[in-house]
Amino acid sequence: MGRPIDDDDREQVRRLHAEGRSRNDIARAIERSPSTVSKIAAACDPPLTFDRAAEVETATRVRRADLAARRADLALTLHDVAEREIGRMTEPHLYFEWGGKDHTYAQKWQDEPTPVDRRTMMATAGAALDRSLKLAPPRDEVGERSRSVIGRLMEGLARNYAERHGSSPDAPDGDDDG
């Protein structure tokens, strides 16, 4: 059986509670069980409570706000990735290889990436934009803004294609097999 509760225990519980300490912290400080601290707190006039719902609610709101800010930062980073990949599609590109029995290194600069590499860059940009919009969807004028951004992106890509190939990507090329 534990030692009886005395006035010193009651005073210590009141003082530590006033400091904002938790029930378990108080129990450790006065070397009593948490249930004994609860009994002492309940017997006080007025009874002391260890209800931390308001603190938990505030902490939860702060945590959610922090996570929202991190998602917004990550969304910006993903937009940067998309822009970088789209920009690389028309820049000179270095190709290299190791090979042969002597393990020789060869490299070659091309005016722009191969179609396969451009397709990979476009897929990377698309995936980055998709994830970015899922992390931080536009809030105001959602449809109009999204359409205008995607529309400008598509117009720019079509213009670039036409400059490089002399026609728009959807124009017939004249050699239908059909």
Mean pLDDT by groups of 10 residues along the chain of 178 residues:
84 91 92 92 89 82 92 93 94 90 90 94 94 83 63 82 76 49
Same domain, 128 and 96: yes
146 found inside a domain: no
Number of domains in the chain: 2
Q: Residue 63 belongs to what domain range?
A: 54-138
Grouping H, G, I as helix, E, B as strand and the rest as coil, residue 21 is coil
As a residue count, the chain comes to 178
What is residue 165's predicted lDDT score, i.e. its pLDDT?
82
12 plus 77 within the same structural domain: no
The H-or-E segment that residue 151 falls in is helix 142-165
| One domain for residues 81 and 112 | yes
Does the global pTM surpass 0.85? no
Pairwise CA distance, residues 131 & 75, whole Å: 7
Backbone φ and ψ of 96, nearest 5°: -145, 165
